[in-house]
């Protein structure tokens, strides 16, 4: 029996981009201010695939292939012996040679959790894998969160609780006893994962770094990998690397990817170009190099901050009857709603391409990024309330302004 035959196909290129994308339908009928402000919230449901999302999809897909291949060998033995009982985890280990683990590390806001969720939905197809002889139900990918406040026993019970909620088993109730010790619970969890889980994703693993229980947690994770024989993917911020470097065993067994913000280039331009299709202001703005650079300046290429800025700028423009998403409304949005995060997001410390690489940036499949500085001065006198000092302050956000006293 080959369990991988029950997996969906492996998608690549444009087909993968289409599968990963979540692009809500725009409702253009009602142009009232209230309706547009409400419809603007649909932008938060968007998912625009990045290179990171495509790589994460591959990581999860191939982890499931490895895990199901090991399960197929187990089930062949299971079938020959005509044994449909849950067998001991340690006895299984020798037959499948333990599991493997991967590490997905990314800064907060780069979109790793959303990317994982999209990958899981495509790979699992919102269903489970069922076998007939012997009968068993396998969850392709299951996700749990690590918590610094939870004990090792509590973490293992959470795995069983999530599993029960998906396939209707009763592992949690059967093992949630005060008399059960951690070693016995480890065996029970290993059996349950071996029989019913393809890939286990442990999210927010960076929460365990610096915790007094982290060393104990590492030891039990190592045992779990040896006993359950499945693929485990750990997800967290760069602090999670400390968790893995604490033991040579996990370091040797782990395959990891570290993701940062998008660089200023074609990928960020493509992300923003898709985003700019969701303008709910009365006057639409074309994405040019000036506003692109401004968005990058205020978001540092972080996807979540780019979306927040995009929404906040429109909220301000619509609410104040300015009705245009441009450099002025974006700057106002950053000042009013996002400046508090500047020290934490390290905003403003970025490298823009030189003239030559800027030309390369403009050479996209959909044409070029126009260079137009005129929009900086649009409605400047209105926004500055005819105040020269305020006008200079606004202009200095986009261009270098030098004041000369006469």
322-373, pLDDT tens digit by residue?
Answer: 999 999 999 999 989 887 765 545 555 554 454 444 444 444 434 444 434 4
What per-residue confidence (pLDDT) applies to 368? 43
Which token pair is 304?
């979540």
The reply to whether omega before 134 is within 30° of 0 (cis) is: yes
Over residues 374-384, the mean pLDDT reads 52
Q: What band does 208 get if pLDDT is binned at 50, 70 and 90?
A: confident
User: Are the C-beta atoms of residues 59 and 257 closer than 8 Å to each other?
Assistant: yes
Over residues 245-251, the mean pLDDT reads 64
Q: What is the CA radius of gyration of the chain?
A: 26
CA-CA-CA-CA dihedral for 293, 299, 302, 303, to nearest 10: -80
What per-residue confidence (pLDDT) applies to 303? 94
Over residues 319-323, the mean pLDDT reads 95
CA-CA-CA-CA dihedral for 221, 227, 233, 237, to nearest 10: 10
CA-CA-CA-CA dihedral for 66, 67, 71, 73, to nearest 10: 20
Which residues of the chain form CATH 3.40.50.300?
3-17+31-259
Q: What band does 253 get if pLDDT is binned at 50, 70 and 90?
A: low
Over residues 301-305, the mean pLDDT reads 94
Which token pair is 204?
């927010």
Fold annotation for 3-17+31-259: Rossmann fold (3.40.50)
Cα separation, 40 vs 329, whole angstroms:
15
What per-residue confidence (pLDDT) applies to 372? 40
> 215 versus 204: which is more confidently predicted?
204
Model pLDDT for residues 14-70, shown as the tens digit of each residue:
999 999 999 988 876 678 999 999 999 999 999 999 999 999 999 999 999 999 988
Which of 312, 319, 315, 317 shows the shortest CA–CA distance to 295? 312
Q: The whole model's pTM is what?
A: 0.80
CA 112 to chain centre: 2
């Amino acid at each position: 029996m080959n369990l991988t035959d029950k997996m969906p196909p492996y998608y690549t290129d444009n087909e993968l981009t289409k599968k990963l994308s979540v692009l809500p339908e725009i409702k253009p009928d009602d142009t009232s201010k209230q309706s547009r402000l409400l419809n603007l919230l649909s932008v938060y449901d968007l998912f625009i695939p990045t290179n990171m999302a495509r790589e994460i999809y591959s990581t999860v897909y191939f982890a499931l292939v490895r895990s199901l291949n090991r399960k197929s060998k187990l089930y062949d033995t299971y079938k020959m012996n005509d044994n449909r009982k849950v067998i001991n985890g340690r006895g299984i280990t020798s037959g499948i040679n333990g599991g493997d683990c991967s590490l997905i590390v990314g800064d907060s806001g780069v979109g790793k959790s959303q990317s994982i969720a999209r990958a899981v939905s495509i790979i699992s197809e919102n269903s489970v894998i069922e076998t007939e002889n012997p009968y068993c139900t396998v969850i392709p990918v299951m996700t749990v969160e690590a918590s610094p406040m939870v004990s090792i026993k509590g973490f293992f019970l959470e795995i069983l609780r999530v599993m029960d909620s998906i396939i209707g088993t009763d592992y949690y109730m059967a093992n949630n006893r005060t008399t059960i010790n951690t070693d016995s619970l480890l065996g029970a969890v290993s059996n349950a994962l071996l029989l019913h889980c393809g890939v286990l994703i442990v999210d927010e693993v960076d929460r365990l770094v610096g915790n007094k229980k982290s060393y104990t947690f590492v030891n039990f994770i190592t045992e779990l990998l040896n006993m359950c024989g499945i693929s485990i993917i750990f997800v967290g911020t760069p602090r999670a690397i400390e968790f893995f470097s604490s033991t040579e065993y996990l370091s040797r067994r782990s395959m990891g990817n570290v993701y940062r913000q998008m660089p200023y280039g074609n990928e960020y331009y493509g992300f923003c170009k898709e985003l700019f299709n969701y303008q709910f202001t009365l006057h639409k703005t074309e994405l040019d190099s000036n506003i692109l650079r401004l968005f990058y300046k205020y978001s540092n290429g972080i996807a979540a901050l780019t979306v927040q800025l995009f929404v906040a700028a429109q909220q301000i423009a619509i609410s104040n009857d300015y009705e245009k998403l441009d450099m002025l409304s974006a700057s106002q949005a950053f000042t009013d709603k996002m400046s508090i995060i500047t020290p934490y997001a390290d905003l403003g410390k970025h490298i823009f391409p030189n003239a030559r690489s800027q030309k390369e940036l403009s050479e996209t499949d959909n044409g070029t990024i126009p260079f137009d500085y005129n929009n900086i001065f649009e409605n400047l006198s209105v926004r500055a309330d005819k105040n020269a000092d305020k006008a200079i302050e606004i202009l200095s956000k986009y261009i270098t302004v030098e004041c000369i006293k006469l």
